[in-house]
Structure 1
């Protein structure tokens, strides 16, 4: 009987999830995707017969505390609202229970590029315009223009990394360039101010980081890329939809209706220091905004609902993960830093793209066995 390779199985579950996530977001089939993924990963953990005590433990701490806060939440259906969030967080925890080799990490990057092309195809085939903004035809929040722009962040970051790689053939570089151009076309069509700024930040930071070595080794090539980049920015600015130009140039730099809600929530927490520590309860934020809506700020939502006790585990998870990844996987960290711009203007905690980003910064990347063997032989 062939023994199951649990690490490889976990890798394929993650890879398939990345590839189908845009389609899953449109069809709203998370009940099938998450249940099947969780079942396979649980089986892999059982086969391995132990749990890893890595940064994923902070995800479990957050899950437990979110359950407890349901009992004092103003939202009567708080427990029901946890079903989808728990499915996403449990899937994330199980993904983080397995190490991923450097070669698998490279395949994951390529999977995100394919994921981006699938999303672009969906934009061409399932897109529509409402209120002069581009939407995807879907019953999920992921089709909203602001949320839609978040799906491009991770693929754009990896696209920049591969675009300037010496190992990539010219034909693939042409395809990646086309992918970047088309992505920004649809980002601009969403007329999402936060989405455009986020993706522009990711592209700029990733490009600048890449140019550190390119400027030293190939100054002529670096200058050419800079000229092309500047020309692309000029063309993009001159072809922005009128609605986006209006949104970028209006006086409300904090986003329509967001700032008053942030002030209201901040004042509510300051007036209730005990609840600020322990939280107002899962999904309670919409009862205190004055509008019946979420705060349009991922971190503020979590801080208000779960308090400092629930907020700190996530901060620790992010901080520890970034400290590990900053040298090994710099483009993953760049994607997270860029996404932070969007997270400050969007309630995206339980979105697929945010969970994928939490996975990328938290995953354990190990050396390939063949590579480590060769190094030992040389020594």
Structure 2
């Protein structure tokens, strides 16, 4: 027995869960426990999508069970925010009521009497080979668990990102599909695959592009990892930046910036058919000099977001200027992650300022 392994404890905990016949809460609690065991910690990365996929549950059943666990204080939510945008970047689940088996066994141990006869010393045979073999097996098992756990987290991250782009939303994926997705992650890397997914979703949603075929996530990966896909750069390969998807699928053959169709500032005046006005030295109605050097504005808005301060319409205007700045510099100094991050902030806050403060 490995005394370092965590164990679920407290008879009262089980009684609390079973009161009111909360079978869903019991199942979810045990699922969190299993994840704790795999990740070897009681503060785990287990997103809602990951849990719903693993349990094969719908949203209503899952959120009802999760609400019960939160109400009973059997789980706690620990949120990590993005330092730049103030957005919640990752949520960890903490399971507070855990002890190690070693601690439990220690509490159950009866103190040995000091009058007990001491066994003779003599020469004791040790099996160094077995110890070495056991250590090797344990090391190999730990390495396997870490690899398996990383793959689960990687798969969950990609699935959640795919669903967030609203191409085809998946509640569950077959085992074969999961293997193909993990194979693609291993070959391409998470960031590159997410970039391909993002560009694919932008092409699908913009009528100026002629490509409109919707793949499932697994098919998106399978197509790219096939022999033809690898040789001819099909599937996800078509949507990577080096293959110029915004020019390749443009109806008129000219490169299109899909963000320009979505980004329509509400705090400035500009000609949507001529966002770069050289006669007035403006871009989207913002002064070009501010567009080129937005560092002070970025830092100020980041501080306000991180501190959770109430934003004014002037602050929102600065956010629109920041988005415009990253779009203006997308060729000379491309920073797609920052552009996407600030666009997400803009999307989230826009309804509040649509009619002013």
TM category (shorter chain) comes to 0.3 to 0.5
Q: Larger radius of gyration, structure 1 or 2?
A: 2
> If the length of structure 2 is used for normalisation, what is the TM-score?
0.32
Determine which structure has the larger helix proportion and give its number: 1
The higher-RCO structure (CA 8 Å, 6+ apart) is 1
> If the length of structure 1 is used for normalisation, what is the TM-score?
0.31
